[in-house]
Amino acid sequence: MVDDVISRRRFIQVGSGVAGASLAMTAGMAAAVVQAGSGVRVIGRPMPHGVDLPSAPPARRRQDSVGVAVVGLGSYALNQMMPRFAQAERAHIAAIVSGSPDKLRTVGDAYGVPPESRYSYEAFDRIASNKGIDAAYIVLPTGLHAEWAIRAFAAGKHVLCEKPMALSSADCERMIAAGRRANRKLMIAYRSQFEPYNLEAMRLMSQKAVGDIRLVRTEQSYRLAPTSPSENWRTNRALAGGGPLEDYGIYGLQSALYLTGEMPESISATTFRPTGDPRFAEIFAHVSSQWRFPSGAVAQLVASYDSAGINFAHVRGTQGVLIMDPATSYSGQKMRLEVGTSRDLTPGDPSAQFVRQINHFADAVRDNIPIRTPGEMGLRDLRLIEAIYASAKAGRTVKLASDGRMRS
């Protein structure tokens, strides 16, 4: 959890228009700005603090290794994902894409990316002619995912896209259609779907380890430091949507689905946005929802950017309870099963989730295996997010079809 919070605290900025962009371009920062089709802009950002670059370029392990272009050298890419490529059996960093010439140089040198495979956003479309690049890993602010995934498909590349997939189901549908047209793979980087604790929890719940599930509760919260939409993309509606639900609450949303193995048939929700707080000028501070599943089970989900840090999932059944706290961190997961007696479970190393995710993507590209977290899953989740906001706005329960579309 702590590392989740640190990565979110980095000063990162954005602007959904010219004013925001010029604000972001401070002295000494050669930022490239490109107008994206959605109206939001890509902007190069300075190197985040505390990044450990490799002392020697990682070696490529296999001949059939998938060459990946990392698009957006932000905190998550530099601190979490890029170092994990060194452990991946079948994928390597073949190119980098950034609006910061400084990062292109230092990160490119550290990872052994040849100068001709370092791209500005303006030059991005030229990846099409680079045969060493099989795929693009889109790790930009969320409001930019659709645009850049679609451009990657147009360049003939496969796409691994960070969560959440996009900010609307319409954008998810455009991404899926573009991938199909290009006959390329689309995977959403839902790392918890590759993490040993969450995989064990799924297995236990499918075997009814707590009996019939009656209640799932999830909460993903932390307190945003003072900031504003022009300083931090996570508070900018064009780049972050409603805020905490898309960014952090998506883990609880996913957990509620994979722990119950069901889709909700109705959702009622509420949102809160305080007045006069620049952090919440454009996004919500809290989003809370209650779901009812066809089995009769209920889920209660909370996501907040303004309450003390927590990241848990609880499942209460007719026979016992499963407690995951922290549930979906980068590392340090804890899980307890209470059925008669209480048992702490330690199914594996949570930090394996990153490399397993990369390996799965590479296997899908090379061996054409079905993707565990495809675009359709990202689309499903965006439909549920839209239902949550629709319910909160209308002040009533919304009913859902089995694919997550709203029925009323």
Looking up tokens 């930090």 gives: 351
Name the segment binding ligand NDP (CB under 6 A); options: 96-104, 208-216, 221-229, 389-397.
96-104
| Sequence-ordered alpha helix ranges (H) in 54-129 | 75-76, 82-84, 101-111
**Of 313, 266, 270, residue with least CA distance to 288:** 270
Active site residue 393: no
- The torsion of the CA quartet 53, 59, 63, 64, rounded to 10 degrees, works out to -30
Interaction between residue 243 and ligand NDP (CB under 6 A)? no
Q: How many chain residues interact with ligand NDP (CB under 6 A)?
A: 31
CB of 309 to ligand NDP, least distance (A): 15
**Of 175, 186, 371, 163, residue with least CA distance to 251:** 163
With contact defined as beta carbons under 8 Å apart, do 119 and 152 qualify? no
Among residues 76, 121, 137, 163, which one is catalytic?
163
What mask, x for binding ligand NDP by CB under 6 A, covers residues 361 to 390?
Answer: ------------------------------
Q: Please, which of residues 144-163 interact with ligand NDP by CB under 6 A? A: 162-163
Active site residue 251: yes
Q: Please, which of residues 206-235 interact with ligand NDP by CB under 6 A? A: 233
Q: Residue 193 carries which side chain, given as an amino acid letter?
A: Q
Q: How far is CA 59 from CA 67, 69, 252, 345, in A?
A: 13, 16, 36, 35
Cβ proximity to ligand NDP, 84 vs 314, nearer residue: 84
Cβ proximity to ligand NDP, 1 vs 140, nearer residue: 140
- Name residue 252's beta-bridge partners: none
Among 10, 184, 217, 380, interactor with ligand NDP by CB under 6 A: 10
Among residues 76, 222, 251, 305, which one is catalytic?
251
CB of 12 to ligand NDP, least distance (A): 3
Interaction between residue 113 and ligand NDP (CB under 6 A)? no
Per 3-state DSSP, the chain is made up of helix, strand and coil in percentages (nearest 5) of 40, 25, 40
Among 1, 7, 119, 293, interactor with ligand NDP by CB under 6 A: 7
CB of 289 to ligand NDP, least distance (A): 20
Interaction between residue 360 and ligand NDP (CB under 6 A)? no
Q: Would strands 135-138 and 158-162 be described as parallel, antiparallel, or unpaired?
A: parallel
The helix (H) or strand (E) run that includes residue 2 is helix 2-9
With contact defined as beta carbons under 8 Å apart, do 29 and 43 qualify? no
What mask, x for binding ligand NDP by CB under 6 A, covers residues 41 to 60?
Answer: xxxxx--x------------
Name the segment binding ligand NDP (CB under 6 A); options: 140-148, 196-204, 308-316, 388-396.
140-148
The helix (H) or strand (E) run that includes residue 357 is helix 352-367
Residues that bind ligand NDP (CB under 6 A): 7, 10, 12-14, 41-45, 48, 72-77, 98-100, 103, 139-142, 162-163, 189, 191, 233, 247
Active site residue ranges? 163, 251
